[in-house]
């Protein structure tokens, strides 16, 4: 019985490792808190006694108390925050570049239209002659 429970736990821990690796793609990811829902995962895997044992060790509620005690999680969280900040900065720069590019294209089109209009005006030439009689007194 003990070996079957141990092998069951090992299988649960393998699945846990895979689910945590998926992180945001995992159905157990809690986006608002940026936590993996360990408690729900273990209950879904059919090992609620493991939840109780972890709550004895880490405290209740399990998710925040367990993850806050993990140095690896804290490092991951800081790294994710830094990545989000960098992505926001990159998006801001991308939008500024896109706006500058659009403004440059507008200015180029305006100059091109003005140049084309000036070229059309040059094509018209005033010729000598014509109706001189109507102008003379």
**pLDDT tens digits, 50-88:** 889 889 998 888 888 888 888 888 888 888 889 999 999
Do 3 and 11 form a contact (C-beta atoms < 8 A)? no
Alpha carbon 5 to its chain's center: 41
Residue owning tokens 């018209």: 124
Residue 87's pLDDT is what? 96
Res. 14: pLDDT tops 70: yes
What is the C-alpha separation between 3 and 67, in angstroms, rounded? Answer: 28
What is the C-alpha separation between 26 and 19, in angstroms, rounded? Answer: 6
What value does the CA radius of gyration of the chain take, rounded to a whole number of Å? 36
pTM of the predicted model as reported, rounded to 2 decimal places: 0.56
Residue 111's pLDDT is what? 95
What is the C-alpha separation between 50 and 126, in angstroms, rounded? Answer: 98
Confidence of residue 131 (pLDDT cuts 50, 70, 90): low
């Amino acid at each position: 019985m003990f070996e079957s429970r141990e092998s069951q736990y090992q299988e649960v821990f393998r699945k846990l490792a895979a689910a945590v690796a998926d992180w945001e793609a995992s159905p157990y990811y809690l986006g608002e808190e940026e936590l993996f829902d360990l408690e729900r995962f273990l209950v879904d895997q059919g090992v609620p006694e493991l939840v109780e044992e972890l709550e004895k060790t880490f405290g209740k509620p399990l998710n925040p108390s367990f993850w806050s005690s993990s140095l690896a999680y804290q490092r991951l969280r800081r790294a994710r925050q830094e990545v989000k900040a960098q992505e926001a900065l990159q998006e801001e720069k991308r939008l500024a570049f896109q706006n500058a590019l659009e403004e440059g294209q507008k200015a180029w089109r305006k100059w091109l239209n003005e140049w084309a209009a000036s070229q059309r005006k040059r094509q018209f030439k005033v010729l000598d002659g014509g109706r001189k009689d109507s102008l003379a007194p």
